[in-house]
Amino acid sequence: MVNLLLAEPRGFCAGVCRAVMIVKDALQKYGAPVYVRHEIVHNRHVIQELEEMGAIFINELNEADISRPLIFSAHGVSVAVERQAQEKGFSVIIDATCPLVDKVHRQIRKYAANKMNIVVIGKAEHPEIIGTVGQLNDISKVQIIKSVEDVDTLPFPIDEPIGFVTQTTLSVDETQEISMALRQRYPQLSSFKNDDICFATTNRQAAVKKIAEQSEVVIVVGSKNSSNSRQLREVALKAGAKSAYLIDDVSELPWEVLDTAENIGISAGASAPEHLVAELVGTLNLRYDNIKIHHVIIAKENVKFKD
Ligand code: SF4
C-alpha cells in the first residue's frame, strides 16, 4: 500500500488569490492586454494561464503601452517605481501588493521616520525585499542580512535605536535564529515581534513539517523561483524526509524514488494552484494499485483579503 499524506493548508494563500483575481478582473473590465510589472506571483502555470488571457508580464515600465492598465505584482514595488508609473502617465494603475507586504512597507517607513537604524532580514535580490527597501529615499541606515553570521557584520552601534523587518516568505525556524542573534547583539530589540513571516508561510511550513516526519519522500508543487515553495522543500528535508522535490507539475515527478516509497508527502507553495495537486494525486493513483489518502491538517485558513 502507498500512503499519500496531503499537507493542509497548502497552495494558494489569500494574497495570491487576491492578486490573481485583480489581474482577471482587470482583463474583464479593460480587455486585453493589461501589463503586469513582474510575475504577478511566482508560478509558471499561473503566469501561462494569465498570458493566454491577455496579460503581458514586464520587468521595466518602458516595455508597456501607457494607454493600457498597469498592475503591480503581489510582491510590492518601490516608491520610485510607483512614482515612475505616475510620471509616465499610465491610464490605469492597479496595485496587487499583498496587504501583509504593505504592512511591512508601513513598518519600515515608520522606523525611518523615527530615524532608527534598520535591519532587513531577507534576500536582497528578491522583488519583495527590493520593494520593501525601496520604500525609503535614504537607505544609508539600512542593512539587509540573511544569516545568523551576518548579524556580527552589522555596523550599527549598540546604543542607537534600531528596528527590523523580514521578508514574509522565509523559513520560520531560520528567521527565529537570526532574530534571536539580533536581540543578543541589540538588547533593545527584545520587545520586538519575532518576524513578519505571514500566516500562510507559517501554516504551510508547519504542515509540511508534519508530513515530512512520516514520509520517505515529499513532493512540493511550486516553481523554482517561488521563495515560499523552495522553503517548503528545505523544511521537509530538515524535518526528516529522506528526499524532497520541488516540481512545477507531474512531468517532473521523480519516479525512481517514488516507486520505492511507501509514504509520500504532498504539499504546494502559496503560489501553486490546487488543480496541479489534484493532477498529481490522480497520476499517482493511476500508477499505484493501492493508495490511501491521509489529510494532515494543522490549521484551517479562512482569511480573505478585499480588493
Ligand atoms: S505568502 Fe503571505 S505575504 Fe505572500 S502573498 Fe501570500 S499571504 Fe501575502
Per residue in 10-25, pLDDT (tens digit) is 999 999 999 999 999 9
Ligand 1 centre and the CA of 2: distance in Å? 33
Ligand 1 centre and the CA of 74: distance in Å? 8
> Residues 34-92: pLDDT tens digits?
999 999 999 999 999 999 999 999 999 999 999 999 999 999 999 999 999 999 999 99
Ligand 1 centre and the CA of 198: distance in Å? 6
> Residues 222-248: pLDDT tens digits?
999 999 999 999 999 999 999 999 999
Q: ∠ CA(102), CA(170), CA(144), 5° rounding?
A: 75
Candidate from 169, 195, 197, 230 with most ligand 1 atoms within 8 A of CB, to mutate: 169
In ligand 1, the atom with minimum distance to the C-alpha of 201 is: 1
> Could you tell me which residues come within 8 angstroms of residue 219 by beta carbon, excluding any fewer than 6 positions away?
244, 245, 247, 253, 264, 265, 266, 267, 280
Ligand 1 centre and the CA of 275: distance in Å? 19
Q: Which long-range contacts (CB under 8 A, 24 or more apart) does 59-67 make?
A: 61/37, 61/85, 61/88, 62/88, 63/35, 64/35, 64/37, 64/90, 65/33, 65/35, 66/90, 66/91, 67/91
Predicted pLDDT at 210: 98
> Which H/E stretch holds residue 162?
strand 162-166
Does the pLDDT value for residue 193 go beyond 90?
no
Q: Considering only CA atoms, which of 89, 49, 47, 45 is closest in space to residue 70?
A: 89
Q: Whose CA is nearest to atom 6 of ligand 1?
A: 15
Kindly report the backbone phi and psi dihedral angles of residue 141, in degrees, each rounded to the nearest multiple of 5, phi listed first. Answer: -105, 20
In ligand 1, the atom with minimum distance to the C-alpha of 16 is: 5
DSSP assigned state of 192 = S
pLDDT band at 168 (very low <50, low <70, confident <90, very high): very high
b/e for 8-20, b at 16 or more Cβ within 10 A? bbbbbbbbbbbbb
- Average the pLDDT over 273-297 and give the result: 97
Predicted pLDDT at 160: 96
- Say which of 82, 128, 177, 252 is annotated catalytic: 128
Ligand 1 centre and the CA of 27: distance in Å? 23
Which residue shows C-alpha cell 520610485? Answer: 80
Does the pLDDT value for residue 194 go beyond 90?
no
In ligand 1, the atom with minimum distance to the C-alpha of 168 is: 3
Predicted pLDDT at 205: 98
Whether the CB-CB separation of 101 and 74 falls below 8 Å is answered with yes
Pick the CATH number of 14-98 from 3.30.479.10, 3.30.70.3000, 3.40.50.11270, 3.40.1410.10: 3.40.50.11270
Whole-number Å distance between alpha carbons of 217 and 187: 41
Q: What is the mean pLDDT of the chain?
A: 97
Look up 256 and say whether it is catalytic. no
Predicted pLDDT at 247: 98
Candidate from 98, 126, 304, 306 with most ligand 1 atoms within 8 A of CB, to mutate: 98
Predicted pLDDT at 191: 74
Q: Whose CA is nearest to atom 8 of ligand 1?
A: 15
What type of residue sits at position 66? Answer: I
Q: Whose CA is nearest to atom 7 of ligand 1?
A: 15
Q: Are strands 162-166 and 93-95 parallel, antiparallel or unpaired?
A: unpaired
Predicted pLDDT at 258: 98
CATH topology of domain 2-12+199-297: Cobalt-precorrin-4 Transmethylase; domain 1 (3.40.1010)
Q: Ligand 1 pocket by C-beta < 6 Å: which residues? A: 13-16, 74, 98, 100-101, 168-169, 198, 200-201, 228, 270
Predicted pLDDT at 164: 96
Half-sphere exposure of 132 (CA within 13 A, CB side): 33
- Average the pLDDT over 202-225 and give the result: 98
Kindly report the backbone phi and psi dihedral angles of residue 125, in degrees, each rounded to the nearest multiple of 5, phi listed first. Answer: -90, -5
Same-fold call for 2-12+199-297 versus 14-98: no
pTM: 0.96
Candidate from 13, 72, 101 with most ligand 1 atoms within 8 A of CB, to mutate: 13
Predicted pLDDT at 197: 95
Predicted pLDDT at 306: 77
Predicted pLDDT at 190: 79
Write the burial class of residue 214 (CB in 10 Å: 0-12 exposed, 13-18 middle, 19+ buried). Answer: middle
Q: Whose CA is nearest to atom 5 of ligand 1?
A: 15
Domains of the chain: which residue ranges?
Answer: 2-12+199-297, 14-98, 100-191
In ligand 1, the atom with minimum distance to the C-alpha of 101 is: 3
Whether the CB-CB separation of 7 and 296 falls below 8 Å is answered with yes
Stretch among 4-18, 177-191, 269-283 having the lowest mean pLDDT? 177-191
Crossing angle of the two packed helices 44-53 and 14-30, in degrees rounded to 10: 10
Cell numbers that stand for 183 in this block: 536581540
Q: Quick one: CATH architecture of 100-191? A: 3-Layer(aba) Sandwich (3.40)
> Residues 50-65: pLDDT tens digits?
999 999 999 999 999 9
Predicted pLDDT at 230: 97
Over pLDDT 70: what percentage of the chain? 100
Which segments of the chain does DSSP mark as H helices, in order?
A: 14-30, 44-53, 79-88, 99-113, 127-133, 148-151, 172-185, 199-212, 227-238, 255-258, 274-287
Q: Quick check: helix, strand or coil at residue 97?
A: coil
In ligand 1, the atom with minimum distance to the C-alpha of 228 is: 1
Does the pLDDT value for residue 307 go beyond 90?
no
